[in-house]
Chain A
């Protein structure tokens, strides 16, 4: 038992994250039983899912940094293998990219752990407490944070997330990039930022900068996407910004907000990816241009998607609103301690939230509302149109949680999971009364429904949609698909340049470093021309240098 306690730790934070690791594993397994039913290699798939669960629990509960690193690094390999189950043409390249970014930062973490050990002589997380006064401590913190950022998908290591979202099976995306990797990445960021290192205001500002940048940049990219899952992938990046921002504020309410947002994000983002997977399963595509009008055929999926979309956009009374609200309060709190940049952080967080809503409007229009694309037919039998219970049930559970965690935020999740983690007392600047607001909302919805049904009493004529007298069915080019909603943002001044550079992958750390690497490679390959006398000349030259160095 003592050996066990030496290497593992069960405190409020790890138990809270551990519970949800279990929870998401169960939901994903259930969903996979529907989604992966007709796939090859399913035993391996479930083996990897199981191993991921074990490794995640190991990483969450490990107290020894080396042990933590073993589990954490192994998760990167599992992610790589799980992405490999996708069937797109680009899947191997995506898996490779994800693994290089994650595995690469993992090695940086090894350097960070070595530096921590050099500074303290300890590997036990609960005993370490390093002030960021020396250069080494800062480097150690940054190395460890890089690992957390890559896992969670914060900038600048985020570029694997959208690719993985597009090219891997939906349950895998819902499982790793959307929920578990976020839980673990932010968990570790919280561990290092709150316990192992004592951050100063400079580092906090840096974290908030990373957070804000991630929020805005990723949501801007999300606006212009044409693929359902890829668009969600960019949101998976954008939302990480709120968590980093929350933790970066360094005050209890902000940190609580960041952690709560981590949980909420895992809930609604998994739900969104489950919906995307269901749509993909039934419609056989995720391209927004060829989707549309699915609300009629897949009502359950539509409703769960709608709830999760409201939650991610931060609309009350859903859970995303509460955690974003807490993060905003955390930012306001930093203003008191003399930070002058809080306006920037606050504006970018709110701006990001608005753009999130905007891009989900686009998704709703393109996938569920609007007109079905030309020539597409859903499954002929009506009962086949909605997915089976195994696939809609997890989404429904998650959508339900979005609601519960929003309305009863103080009573359930915050009280049981989040506040025990933050030992200091938390003060709200007037928390909104969720109960009253919810009742008002419900009343307004009921009234709305009443009006709607009363209106239906009158006889209506139903007809196919038309524009300018032209029937839409016969003129598919007049269909409003929703994909072009925000294409014009690409034409605005400076944004035009940024989008063009982004299209060239200038901001993709993976692409940039691979260009540099291959530059070195070409230069060195040029020197290796295969001529024996050249090689011999090098040997002698090398020996000459050695002679010079040692005998001078």
Chain B
């Protein structure tokens, strides 16, 4: 198969969306089956992608056999395959969770169609080697996500979706503007080609301008402070599985991945840019957690933590050292796992009790043992308690900060971690511990598929730290960080493979 596997990531998810919209309205069981089966297939494909990348190195697929710069290429390297696994793993668990969870909504098939469309957009962003194509996929994913945020069609959901759509479109606009400037400077849209045509001496002015535009555009998609304000409204309003997708993987594939890919591999990094990213990352880390700790709406609290954790990822990556990049990427993976698990837990609570208000919950561990155990696991992971996965990535980031002699950044990371712990012990206290409130005396644990997907994610939280151990880290984390460390070879590799 080799390189021919690459377009399948888009094809499978798009055809899933197509099939569901075709048959889903008549056959009630059909959307559930296709949703889970196709995401499972995508997960297997992405694991296979990791395997072939580990064996054969970077792979390139030219769409319709048109060679760049005319045609569009799909590139599968260590970073893409790493991100593909992250996205599709979460997508699979979310799809399974939705089988039970979405039963209370009407027109489930619309949900799955939009869901798979969003997934197609995300997967497309991850594999494309063409900058305008990246923008198109990014818009597919974004538009699908606007609709999904508004899926409940209540007043506040529509309002949140509107805000989200406006802000996100502004971000897209600046990305498009950046692409326009790049195109005008280099007359090409292939990312490899752009990277080769840009010369620092001739294009330094335009490079700076474009970097800022991308920083703002992708920063907005990634919810970096000060471009973050849409997230706490948008993410909680979506149905819980979608919140898990948005916070777990969407902001990372559209935001962080695209930003890193373009800034590292196409434009080339400057220390100035990295230090700005470090400041933004640290600000996000602290402002996010300070905002989170006072929230009483569980999903809103989680959404603010997404901002904070994204800050860790950006801080790690923008250190630019091998350890920092590994730590940042590892935290990205871990965060998708535990944050989607936390959103699924909040969904499970909402499913049984109908509330997201922490003050109204209490003592739920008695009635919902699986939810509370998995929530504890995820909460400990995000707070960086050993031996859960979040501990390892935070450890790497803190060590990397100290290694790079950025002691204050290390300290801020520590401070944010303490506050994260504080806010999650608050969640545990109000939601699960203590005495059961009388109005919840009759509630039952959630149905089987919801349990199953939460358990899968919790198991990954417990054993995720193993991914950093020798033997497992080479094909996965080291391959991914190698792409960013060795970003200068991206263009030449792609061009060489196309010929």
Interface residues, chain A, with chain B CB atoms under 8 Å away: 66, 69-74, 76-77, 80, 84, 91-93, 95-96, 99-100, 103-104, 106-108, 110-111, 113-115, 117-118, 136, 514, 517-518, 520-522, 524-525, 528, 530, 532, 534-536, 538-539, 541-543, 546-547, 549-551
With a CB–CB cut-off of 8 A, which chain A residues contact B106?
none
A114:B403 contact, CB within 8 angstroms:
yes
With a CB–CB cut-off of 8 A, which chain B residues contact A517?
290, 293, 419, 422
A114:B291 contact, CB within 8 angstroms:
no
B216:A546 contact, CB within 8 angstroms:
yes
B290:A521 contact, CB within 8 angstroms:
yes
Interface of B is mostly: helix
5 interchain residue pairs of minimum CB distance:
A535-B229, A114-B402, A521-B294, A542-B226, A73-B386
A107:B414 contact, CB within 8 angstroms:
yes
Kindly supply a per-residue 1/0 record for chain B positions 440-464, scoring 1 wherever the CB is within 8 Å of any chain A CB and 0 otherwise: 0000000000000000000000000
Cα(A546)–Cα(B414), bound, Å? 26
The answer to whether the Cβ of B6 comes within 8 Å of any Cβ in the partner chain is no
Measured CB to CB, the nearest residue on chain B to A104 is B418
B167:A532 contact, CB within 8 angstroms:
yes
Task: From known contacts A539-B170, A550-B276, infer whether A111 and B425 are also in contact, taking CB-CB under 8 Å.
Answer: no
- Minimum CB–CB distance for B183 against chain A, Å: 21
Apart from A108-B414, A534-B229, A539-B220, what 16 extra A-B contacts exist at CB < 8 Å? Answer: A69-B395, A76-B385, A92-B429, A96-B429, A99-B421, A100-B421, A100-B425, A107-B394, A110-B398, A111-B410, A114-B401, A521-B293, A532-B163, A542-B216, A542-B226, A550-B211
With a CB–CB cut-off of 8 A, which chain A residues contact B395?
66, 69, 110
Q: List 5 A-B contacts (CB under 8 A).
A: A70-B386, A136-B407, A518-B293, A518-B294, A532-B166
Cα(A295)–Cα(B399), bound, Å? 57
- Minimum CB–CB distance for B486 against chain A, Å: 25
Cα(A336)–Cα(B287), bound, Å? 52
Cα(A543)–Cα(B220), bound, Å? 11
Measured CB to CB, the nearest residue on chain B to A110 is B398
Cα(A117)–Cα(B323), bound, Å? 13
- Minimum CB–CB distance for B388 against chain A, Å: 9
With a CB–CB cut-off of 8 A, which chain A residues contact B421?
99-100, 103-104, 107
B208:A110 contact, CB within 8 angstroms:
no
B291:A100 contact, CB within 8 angstroms:
no
B422:A107 contact, CB within 8 angstroms:
no
With a CB–CB cut-off of 8 A, which chain B residues contact A542?
216, 226-227
Measured CB to CB, the nearest residue on chain A to B362 is A92
- Minimum CB–CB distance for B380 against chain A, Å: 6
A104:B226 contact, CB within 8 angstroms:
no
- Minimum CB–CB distance for A109 against chain B, Å: 10
With a CB–CB cut-off of 8 A, which chain A residues contact B333?
none
The answer to whether the Cβ of B209 comes within 8 Å of any Cβ in the partner chain is yes
- Minimum CB–CB distance for B246 against chain A, Å: 17
Residue of B229, B403, B417 touching A528 (CB-CB under 8 A): B229
Chain B interface residue bracket vs A: 35 or more
- Minimum CB–CB distance for A57 against chain B, Å: 15
- Minimum CB–CB distance for A278 against chain B, Å: 26
- Minimum CB–CB distance for A378 against chain B, Å: 28
With a CB–CB cut-off of 8 A, which chain B residues contact A95?
425, 429, 433
Cα(A549)–Cα(B418), bound, Å? 31
B291:A538 contact, CB within 8 angstroms:
no
Measured CB to CB, the nearest residue on chain B to A135 is B407
The answer to whether the Cβ of B411 comes within 8 Å of any Cβ in the partner chain is yes
Cα(A525)–Cα(B380), bound, Å? 25
Cα(A82)–Cα(B208), bound, Å? 55
Cα(A403)–Cα(B39), bound, Å? 68
B426:A114 contact, CB within 8 angstroms:
no
Measured CB to CB, the nearest residue on chain A to B404 is A118
With a CB–CB cut-off of 8 A, which chain B residues contact A117?
399, 402-403
With a CB–CB cut-off of 8 A, which chain B residues contact A72?
386
Kindly supply a per-residue 1/0 record for chain B positions 270-298, scoring 1 wherever the CB is within 8 Å of any chain A CB and 0 otherwise: 00110010000000000100110110000
Task: From known contacts A535-B229, A549-B276, infer whether A111 and B402 are also in contact, taking CB-CB under 8 Å.
Answer: yes
The answer to whether the Cβ of B200 comes within 8 Å of any Cβ in the partner chain is no
Cα(A106)–Cα(B384), bound, Å? 10
B294:A522 contact, CB within 8 angstroms:
yes
Cα(A117)–Cα(B391), bound, Å? 17
With a CB–CB cut-off of 8 A, which chain B residues contact A551?
208-209, 212
A546:B212 contact, CB within 8 angstroms:
yes
Measured CB to CB, the nearest residue on chain B to A139 is B407
- Minimum CB–CB distance for A258 against chain B, Å: 28
The answer to whether the Cβ of B2 comes within 8 Å of any Cβ in the partner chain is no
Task: From known contacts A111-B410, A542-B226, infer whether A92 and B293 are also in contact, taking CB-CB under 8 Å.
Answer: no
B418:A103 contact, CB within 8 angstroms:
yes
With a CB–CB cut-off of 8 A, which chain B residues contact A66?
395
Cα(A103)–Cα(B402), bound, Å? 20
